[in-house]
Each structure stands twice: as structure tokens, then as C-alpha cells.
Structure 1
Amino acid sequence: MSNNSKRVSVVSKLTAVSSRPTGPGHTHPFTALDHAMGLHSLHIIYYYKHNIFTYFDLDPSRVSLSEVLSLYPPVTGRLTRDGDGNWQVKCNDAGVRVVKAHVGTTLDEWLRSADGLEERDLTVWDDMPDDPNTWSPFRVQINEFQGGGIAIGLSCTHMQADPTCATLLLNSWTQTHRGQPMTHPPVYSTLQTHGPPLPNLQTKSTSFYTTKSKHVQNQPPSVQMATATFIFSHAAIKQSLIQVHDNCPDATPFDLLAALFWTRVARLKASEHERKRSLSVCVDFRKQLRPPLPLGYYGNALHFSLLSLDSEEIDGGGLGNVVERVHHHLSSMEKEEFRSAIEWFESHKEEGGGCNKFAPPFRMYGPELTCISMEHMIDVPSGPTGKAGKPLMYGAMFDEEAGPVHVSYNVGNVEGEGLIMVMPACPDDEDEMLRRTVMVALSRKELAELCEDQAVLGLHPTMLLSGRH
């Protein structure tokens, strides 16, 4: 938490433990992909219009949290090394750190006036120490706003969870609180490749990861990122998809927004010497494997791939052309790309010492401009209507009437050109499922220019958490 915070003040701290103890000697090993995410942290904030808690230390919500933690032993455990020197969780029921805080403004004013740096004050976090024996890898912060409303901040090491995994933990808490069964309970299966051995591991993915792993790390990142959030209406996205239809009739909202922000950010970073512009595209691969992983798979299931275009194509090829290139990049990705990447991580060992120790982590988010797709967060039920369900993060309701009005995601320790995250927005109704939220992290100067970019403003976004009053 920021020492310079003026509007967020901590009032109490406690530890939430599971209601049923885990058996002795239980551990949860991390995969090689989990290890690779070790330089990053994950921060999620759920905003609610009404205060759903009373006194948390006595509130039924604390009871339901303890109940759900019983199904998540790795969340309440502590990190340790196994015999090969790889990280694992000792599931010892040590508990989750919970902080209660007051915010010296209203929820609406906060969303209008806070910036991404101040928003971090809503999520308590301490980087992992050299000896993490007593360090809590998950933190929860409950923030009360003046006049009602709360924000629930969840922070964790990215080695433990990806955005899907962390989101489902919060969803499971709310479902347990309402006395409902978990829609996607945690699944602790080993991340393995499926099918016969791949005849060729020299795929584009493994080449990209090899290059990325050799990038010289800066500690800490040389440029502090500023963030802003843009919310685009269903109507604006629908109209824009119509405009690019001739180039890409099957374009998704992600294709459109990834292309839009990539081209606009590329103009801000334009250099006469650059012949290529590159975008690292991050997708969840739970549904991409065959057979697919369950949505509740606990751990990291993210795949990063590189899309490069000539500078002329970015600058003068038209938005529709770039939308088509993004769409083709994702839709043409062979299943072997995902499998080969998993095998690359599993086979990538540290030179010298034990032959089973995974290689050190490297920055997965950077140095290239990185764009994260969270389109898989839109749940599509098997019911007769065929309509898409409510986005997973907006199903986190502590009562039947009050769901979150906004959800923020942030990744810690991002390096390089910046981060773009495209995710579902809070739907106005079930027929407006094209609404999207785009969170952008850039250098402060570049972000200020992007917030004035006419191509972005032409879609009439609502801007939140940008520090712009």
C-alpha cells in the first residue's frame, strides 16, 4: 500500500483461515509455466454500489470466505521449495491476510478522479521476501467508501493464479455466501500436453519464448506506468464492427479494440528507424487444448504469441486491415502452438545444478507492447436461448440484486512498451453484450496523449480511473 495515500486509510487487519483444515503433508506443486510468471503479481478490484458487509470480523461474509477457502488449500498455504529447488505451496492453513480500509471520498468520485497508481491503494500487497515462510501469497482488502459502496481488492503472486483463476476464486466466495453451488470449482490437475508427441517443437511460440527469456531484465522496470480505463458501449462496438466488415466479416470486439489501440499506441511510439511493429497477444488456452482444460483449472493457462506488421501497414493500411490481421493471427493458431509452448516450459531447465529445476522466471508482459484478451470470460450457457451469459466477473454477487458495477485488473511489474487489456464490461442488459472495458498502461506522457487521441475518442468511451477530473 502506498505510503503517500491520502484517501485510503487502513483501519484493521486480520487473517482469514479455512473452516476445515487440510490434511498434514499436503503440497501443491507449481508448473513450469507458473514458475515463468514469478516476476509478476495480479491485482483485481471489484466495485459495488452498496456496502454488502457490516462488521467483517463478525459478518457472515467472513464465514463464507472461510468455507470457500477450505476448497482452495493453496490460497491459504505458504511458499516453499521442493527437493529439486522448484516452488510449491505447503498447504498448512496459515490463512489469507485481510485488510479493512476506509476511502475518503464517494465511489462515483473515486472512479472519476483516481488514477491507476492510486487505485493500487485498494489492494494491499508486499513483494515476496527472500524467505516466504510466513508471507501470505494472497491478500484481500475491503474498502468502504463515503456514502456507501465498497471495493474488494484481491492481490496474489502471478505464480499462483492467472486472471481466470483469481476471478473464479472471488466468484466462488459470492456463490458460497448466497448458499449456491460453485459454478466452476477449483480443479487441481497437472498441466500436461495431450495427444501423441509433437513431431516439431520448433514452432513460432517456442521461438518467441526463447527470445523473450533471453531479454535483459531491468530491476525494477525503468519507466513507471500510468493507467487509464476506457469503457465502450455496445452500440459503438457494433457500429465499428460494421465499418470493418468488408475487411474482416468475422471480427470480434477484441480484434477491433486490439487493432485500434495497437495502431494508436504505435503512432505515439513512431520511429523512423522501425520497419516492424510488434504486438504480444495473450490469450487463455483452457478451451484451446484437446481435450480442453476445465475453466476451474487452478494455475496459469496463458499463451503469449507475437504478431508483427510492417510500419507502413500500421500507419497507412487502415484500421480494417489491422483488425483482419489480428483476427487471422488468433483464428489460424494451430493447437500445436499451445502444446509446444507447454512442452517448452517443462523442458526449459536451469543450467547447472539439479536437472529438474525449472529455469528462472522472465518478464512475460514485455518488453513488447502486450495485449490481453479476456473474451473467454463471457460465459455462453447451453440453454435454449443461445444468448451469452453475464461475464464471469460480473456474476460475483453477494446478493441476488447487487453485482459489481466495475471490475479492474492490473498486472504488477510490467516492463517495456506497455499493456492493453480488453475485457467484458458491466452489461446494461442481456442484449448489450458487446460492451467492453479496455485498460491501458503506458508511460505517463504517452497515456496523456492517448487520452486525447481522436480515433479513440471517436468511439465515445467513458473514461475511468485516469486521474482526469
Structure 2
Amino acid sequence: MGSLGNMENSPLTSRISTVVPATPRGDENGAYDLRYMDLLMKLHYIRAVLYFNNDAVQGLTIYDLKKPMFPLLDRYSHVSGRIRRSENGRPFIKCNDAGVRIAESHCELPLDEWVAGNGYSMDGLVHDHVLGPDLGFSPLVFVKFTSFRCGGLAVGLSWAHVLGDAFSALNFISHWSKIIAGHVPPKSLHVPPSSKPDLPPSLSDQSQNPISVKKAINVGEHWLAANHRNVETHSFRLAAKQLHHLVTTTISTDAASYFEILCAIVWKSLNRIRGNFCALNAVTICTTNGSNRREDEFPINGLEFSKVEADFAVAQSDVSALAMLIAEKKIVENQVMEKLVEEDEGKEDFLVYGANLTFVDLEEAGFYDVELNGRKPVMANCTFHGVGDEGVVVVLPAPEEDDDGGDGGGNGRMMTVVLPHNELEQLKIELQREWGIV
């Protein structure tokens, strides 16, 4: 991987190439019909970075990193396709072997200096890609390999959410790493049955107004919603000992998960920041609903979006009460969200992440299942592009090294937050002062 620029004096530059399926589909290429939930998520993009030390990439060339993509795309043929529209305007994927993009970059800094100077920021390590305005020519996936002076490597993924959720995106990269290790990919991927959650009776009066989604304005063929405020991203890292201490000393319940407790802390903190005139009494919770994903599962948008409402003052509430409210009072909105798409056959555009303050549970996502030369990432991070002004909070696992023999009972957590600039700066102060989270 040759040097493509000096990070200290210029932004990252890249050489870009295209990888296509190993077996051409030829005249047999067809169409992949997008589901309603896929179309709901079409304005969003999953961005993830996996950081590897030099011993993980010892002996691997850029050719070794690119080569597994060819057989992998045989199994994920629609991933290398392009968006088209049917005669009635509904988007679908044309499986035409147009390929995914590979970006190669180099950083003149060692990995530890990069992290020291940039924190857990993914800026420059993930290709800045969105679909459109020429939809028919826009790749659905970019993979960026950034080599560091020390020999370390960052693997950056930009994955159009219309293909599937973060669990699907990580499955894709996990299969890639297994092919590098010599494992034969599955001949075909398991397609889960299409199912719709039952609507609770309590939702019937609110079925036309789900809080987890809102219409986007004037998007057209450029699939990215405009923000009214400047949103920024920041990641907080909680070691296992710190997280365990936080829970045992400040939370009066052991029935809530780390995700639910962190949601409660941020929910309360943002209410204090916004004040009574902007009270945030309802939030969106995005979870897996406890269902395990198969390793060979076809990419899907299978997460559940639920609303949680508080009938008390959140800013003055106990964090334990908020955590239990999140754990026990979720009302799933997927079905009514999908009905919005069904009504106009996918021609309207919708915003999901950040339509309302959204908390996303990626605690069980397999960031550290990806291995190179038998070595796991030393760190991973993930966020979403195309987030609305209300913001999103993503909770994901931290590296195993966080649990340094303490009583944490597992790894720590990363918490990546996307919010308008002023709110994010105030949240940093609030979390450090009240909870020791930095």
C-alpha cells in the first residue's frame, strides 16, 4: 500500500478501484425488490471502522485484502448492483455486477498517534459516499483500507442502509475476513421469512402518527436529507470497570441492561440541557428484540423501532425509573412505519434516525468477530450518516482489553452520539460532571 499523502499536511487521499462478483451473471442478472423497511431507511448510511495493529496485517498486501471481495460478491450479488426505478417510480436494485468500490489510502502517522490526535473519530477513514444524484451509477458499498506508518490498518465501511442494518453490514465484513483466512463462504445465504410484529392495542389510536419516522422534504434523486442545524459526532468510551462502578453505585436496579442505563442517562441529560420549553418526553429505541442473527443470513433491515413515552418530568426523574421504562414499556412501531411506505409504493422519502431522538442498541453486534491473521480489531466504532436534527445515540461493544481483570463482567462500551453542535458540547460537560463519562 503505497503512500498517497501526508496526513499531517493534507487530508486523506485515495486511489479507488472497483470489485465485481467473481462469476459474471451475464444475461441472467435480474432485479432485487426492496422491502418496505428497506425503503424507509434509504436516506441513511452505516459507517463503521475496524482498527487492526500491525501484527494482524503482517504479510497481507492490498491484493490479499481485495481478492476475497470477488467470491464474496457472488453470495451478495445485489450488493454490487445499482438503484433503478420501476415504471411506477418504486426503487429496486438492478443486479448488474456494477461492483463495490475499494479505496486505498495511507497515513504517515502511526495508529496510536492517529487515535491520540483524533480520538475515536472516523473522519477520513470511511469514504464519504451517498447515493445520487445519478442513482444508476452510485455504488451501494465503499470499503476503505487505510494503512498507517506503523503497519496498522483501518478498515472503513460505508454501507447504504437500503441494503440492510448494521448487523447485516458487519456480517458482510465478517465473511470477507473469513475468506482471507481460507474459509469457504456459504454457497447461498439464508433468507429469513418476512414477518410483521403484532400491534399492541394501545397503539391503535396513534397508528397514523409514529414518532420514529417523519417525511423528508425535497430529496429527489440525491438520497440524503438536509439538516436545519449543524450536527456533529463524538464518541465516549467506558471501560468495563467504569461501567460496572457506574451501574452499581448510581442505579437502583439490576434488571436493566447497560444499553438501557446509558440511554436513560443521556435522555435525562438532554432534557436538562433543552429545558422545559423543549421537553423530550418520548424517544425512539432501536433494538434486535433479542433475536439472534444467523451467520449466513441474507442482509435485511430487521431491527425494531419502538417509542417510549414518559408521563413524568424526565429531567428530574431517577435514572433507574427511566431505564426500567425503556426496558418494559416499548411500543413497536415497525408495522405503522411500513404502512407509510406501502401507501405510496416507496415514492416518498422518510427520515428515521434523528426524526426523534433515537437510541440504537448494537451491544451484540459482531465488531470483534472480524479477524485478520487470527487477530481481532484493537478498536471499532460505528455511526450513521444522514441523521436528523433530533440526534442519534449508538451503543456498541468496546475492545476486550477494557476488562482488565476487574469485576465488570464483560467488556466496556463505546457510545457514539450525533447531535447538533451546541447540544453535543453541553452533553459532554453534563456527562463528565454528573457521571464521569468522557
Q: TM-score range by the shorter chain?
A: 0.7 to 0.9
- Name the residue aligned to 2:128: 125
Cα offsets for 1:179-214 (capped at 9, x unmatched): 2355997434563338xx879695488444378335
Secondary structure at the counterpart of residue 116 of structure 2: helix
- Name the residue aligned to 2:109: 105
Which sits farther off after the overlay, 73-82 or 185-194?
185-194
Distance change >3 Å, CA 214–CA 76, structure 1 → 2 = closer
Cα contact 1:193–1:342 (8 A) shared by 2: no
Q: Give, in whole Å, the separation in 2 of the partners of 1:99 and 1:244.
A: 45
- Name the residue aligned to 2:420: 443
Q: Give, in whole Å, the separation in 1 of the partners of 2:187 and 2:247.
A: 32
Q: Give, in whole Å, the separation in 2 of the partners of 1:256 and 1:324.
A: 9
1:340 is aligned to 2:345? no
Cα offsets for 1:140-188 (capped at 9, x unmatched): 1111122221111111221112111111101110111112355997434
Which sits farther off after the overlay, 123-132 or 92-101?
123-132
TM-score under structure 1 normalisation? 0.79
Equivalences for 1:57-206 in 2 at 5 Å? Answer: 57=62, 59-114=63-118, 119-180=122-183, 186-189=189-192, 191-193=194-196, 202-203=203-204, 206=207
- Name the residue aligned to 1:414: 387
- Name the residue aligned to 1:325: 325
1:267 is aligned to 2:272? yes
1:376 is aligned to 2:364? yes
Q: Give, in whole Å, the separation in 1 of the partners of 2:293 and 2:329.
A: 22
Aligned residues: 420
- Name the residue aligned to 2:429: 452
Amino acid at match of 2:128: W
Distance change >3 Å, CA 55–CA 204, structure 1 → 2 = farther
1:307 is aligned to 2:308? yes
Q: CA RMSD in A?
A: 3.2
- Name the residue aligned to 1:252: 257
Q: Give, in whole Å, the separation in 1 of the partners of 2:163 and 2:338.
A: 19
Q: Give, in whole Å, the separation in 2 of the partners of 1:338 and 1:212.
A: 9
Q: Give, in whole Å, the separation in 1 of the partners of 2:426 and 2:187.
A: 41
Distance change >3 Å, CA 398–CA 183, structure 1 → 2 = farther
Give the drift of 1:275: 5.3
1:394 is aligned to 2:399? no
Q: Give, in whole Å, the separation in 2 of the partners of 1:319 and 1:198.
A: 28
Cα contact 1:370–1:420 (8 A) shared by 2: yes
Cα contact 1:44–1:154 (8 A) shared by 2: yes
Unmatched runs of 5 consecutive residues or more in structure 1? 351-356, 378-391, 464-469
Cα contact 1:37–1:363 (8 A) shared by 2: yes
Cα contact 1:40–1:413 (8 A) shared by 2: yes
Percent identity between the aligned chains?
Answer: 20
Q: Give, in whole Å, the separation in 1 of the partners of 2:306 and 2:347.
A: 20
Q: Give, in whole Å, the separation in 1 of the partners of 2:238 and 2:367.
A: 17
Secondary structure at the counterpart of residue 419 of structure 2: strand
Secondary structure at the counterpart of residue 144 of structure 1: strand
- Name the residue aligned to 1:353: none
- Name the residue aligned to 2:222: none
- Name the residue aligned to 1:228: 234
Give the drift of 1:99: 0.9
Of 373, 384, 400 in structure 2, the residue corresponding to residue 427 of structure 1 is 400
Amino acid at match of 1:230: F
Q: Give, in whole Å, the separation in 2 of the partners of 1:339 and 1:294.
A: 21
Distance change >3 Å, CA 145–CA 211, structure 1 → 2 = closer
Give the drift of 1:420: 0.8
Cα offsets for 1:239-273 (capped at 9, x unmatched): 33334564x33111011111111111222221x33
Secondary structure at the counterpart of residue 67 of structure 1: helix
Cα contact 1:229–1:437 (8 A) shared by 2: yes
Cα contact 1:349–1:359 (8 A) shared by 2: no
Cα contact 1:366–1:415 (8 A) shared by 2: yes
Distance change >3 Å, CA 205–CA 216, structure 1 → 2 = farther
Cα contact 1:80–1:90 (8 A) shared by 2: yes
Q: Give, in whole Å, the separation in 2 of the partners of 1:187 and 1:341.
A: 27
Secondary structure at the counterpart of residue 273 of structure 1: helix
Unmatched runs of 5 consecutive residues or more in structure 2? 1-6, 220-224
Q: Give, in whole Å, the separation in 2 of the partners of 1:190 and 1:88.
A: 19
